[in-house]
Amino acid sequence: MADRAAIGGNWKPGDRAPDLHSMLRVDHAGEYGATRIYAGQLAVLRGSSPAAHLVTHMAAQEERHLARFNQLLAERRVRPTLLQPLWHVGGFALGAVTALISEKAAMACTDAVETEIDLHYAQQLDELGDTDPELAADIRQFQADELEHRDTAREQGALDAPGYPLLSFTIRAICKAAIAVSKRV
135 Cβ contact list (under 8 Å, min separation 6): 20, 23, 24, 72, 128
Binder of Fe ion out of 7, 26, 52, 62 (CB under 5 A): 62
Q: Is the dihedral of CA 69, 72, 74, 79 positive or negative?
A: negative
Tell me how many helices (H) and strands (E) the chain has.
7, 0
Residues of span 32-51 touching Fe ion by CB under 5 A: 34
Q: For Fe ion, which is the closer residue by CB, 25 or 65?
A: 65
How far apart are CB 148 and Fe ion at their closest, in Å?
8
How far apart are CB 151 and Fe ion at their closest, in Å?
11
- Grouping H, G, I as helix, E, B as strand and the rest as coil, residue 111 is helix
- If binding is defined by CB under 5 A, does position 146 make contact with Fe ion? yes
160-179 footprint of Fe ion as x/- string (CB under 5 A)? --------------------
CA atoms within 13 A on the CB side of 136: 14
Amino acid at 147: L
- If binding is defined by CB under 5 A, does position 27 make contact with Fe ion? no
Contact status, residue 33 vs residue 87, Cβ threshold 8 Å? yes
- If binding is defined by CB under 5 A, does position 104 make contact with Fe ion? no
Q: For Fe ion, which is the closer residue by CB, 7 or 25?
A: 25
- Which residues contact Fe ion by CB under 5 A? 31, 34, 62, 65, 146, 149
